[in-house]
Amino acid sequence: MKIFEMMEKEGHEQLVFNHDKTSGLKALIAIHDTTLGPALGGCRMWPYETEEEAIRDVLRLSKGMTYKSGASGCDYGGGKSLIWGDPKKDKSEAMFRAFGRYVDCFKGRFSTGTDVGTTFHDFIIARKETPHVGALPEEYGGGGNSSIITAFGTWKGIKAAASEAFGTDSLEGKTVSVQGLGKVGYYLVKHLIEEGAKVVGTDIVQDHIDKVVADFPQVTIVKPEEIYSQECDIFSPNALGAIINDDTIPQLKCKAIAGAANNQLAEPRHGDIIREKGIVYAPDYVVNAGGLIQVVDEMEPGGYNKGRAYRKAATIYDMLIQIFDISRRDNVPTHIAADKLVEERIATIGIIKRTKK
């Protein structure tokens, strides 16, 4: 494995190995690009089989964060941290304090928070050693449950997709099929119903379905495998990744896709195929940026401000409108247009920063 070659190819700035003998901490911190601002990215804890697998993952995820931060309009770059271990049995106070001290060495050049395998409890501990952690509960100055703002941003994303597909962003009378009625799905359904949309929903957990139906009895529930073929205007994936694939695309009857689930396209070519079918795709990492916007707001001087965070999350709509314009301008699918938007932003802001020096 040639680490420098990999970093050069993908444009990474830094990869730092952190080890603490007392707690057994083995952590990697990757910084991809800091042109727009300090790097931001969650901390994943996972029992990787090999060191190589962990390095590849942290480099890949940190690059993804450059695009996610850039598309959210925030002045942050991309980074990621990773603790090599089993989140079920390897965690300790000492481990997260040691991790916090390593994060602190970056002096704000990198900030982190929860991801797969870590929870806010871990970062309440790390916070004792560094201020550069976010995604904290309200009583610790954070924004609390990020699913609520993610659902708000997703609703704005659905409206932007509707505007592109139907020439109006009103969802009144439109049918939206929602896959996944979990933490984000529940609050998304609330926004949709309040706007007068017809909602078709599905989940694999009966308790999650029951909660939605109890509060919004007008929602029609279908079996999980039936969600793709629903007669609807918009399909909103809020459960799993890779659900836009060779099996599901022929079933789709929608005119737009917009949802919070990460990595919805099984492969990039599926973005081209849905475009050819005339379906507007709102890129997932733009639609689901609400949680990231909340974490960024926690880092503002004076701390988290809910009104400001929601105003910022509402601009997910404007970002998507720009992406649809680039898609038309350059005749490319929207997932490519989203990457272009970020790359153009990095190029122009990079020049402005040089001019000011």
Shortest CB 169 distance to ligand NAD, Å:
22
3-state SS assignment for residue 33 = strand
Does 185 sit near ligand NAD (CB under 6 A)?
yes
Q: Is residue 183 part of an annotated ligand binding site?
A: yes
Burial class (CB in 10 A: 0-12, 13-18, 19+), 59: buried
Cα separation, 191 vs 150, whole angstroms: 12
The residue from 288, 322, 327, 334 that contacts ligand NAD (CB under 6 A) is 288
Which span sits near ligand NAD by CB under 6 A: 23-31, 65-73, 126-134, 183-191? Answer: 183-191
Q: Which of 26, 63, 132, 208 binds ligand NAD (CB under 6 A)?
A: 208
203 binding ligand NAD? (CB under 6 A)? yes
Query: Are 232 and 175 a contacting pair, CB within 8 Å?
Result: yes
271 among the known binding-site residues?
no
What values do phi and psi take at 301, rounded to 5? -60, 135
**180 annotated as belonging to a binding site for a ligand:** yes
- Footprint of ligand NAD on 310-339 (CB under 6 A): none
Answer yes or no whether residue 257 interacts with ligand NAD by CB under 6 A: no
Q: Which of residues 108-147 bind ligand NAD (CB under 6 A)?
A: 146-147
255 is catalytic: no
Q: Does 179 bind ligand NAD (CB under 6 A)?
A: yes
What is the rounded CA–CA span in Å between residue 343 and residue 84? Answer: 31
- Which one of residues 3, 240, 347, 351 is an interface residue with ligand NAD (CB under 6 A)? 240
Three-state SS across 279-305? CEECCHHHHCCHHHHHHHHHCCCCCCC
> Cβ of residue 239: shortest distance to ligand NAD, in angstroms?
3
User: Any contact of residue 92 with ligand NAD (CB under 6 A)?
Assistant: no
- CB 54, CB 84: distance < 8 Å: yes
Six token digits for residue 132: 């550069």
Query: Contact between 150 and ligand NAD (CB under 6 A)?
Result: yes
Single out the residue of 263, 258, 257 nearest to residue 277, CA to CA.
257
Identify the three-state secondary structure at position 248: coil
Residue 238, interface with ligand NAD (CB under 6 A)? yes
On whether 157 is known to bind a ligand per the annotation, the reply is: no
Choose, from 26, 63, 68, 80, the residue flagged as catalytic: 80
What is the C-alpha separation between 301 and 41, in angstroms, rounded? 19
Catalog residues that contact ligand NAD under the rule CB under 6 A.
146-147, 150, 179-185, 202-205, 208, 224, 238-240, 260-262, 288, 291
Tell me which residues are annotated as active site. 80
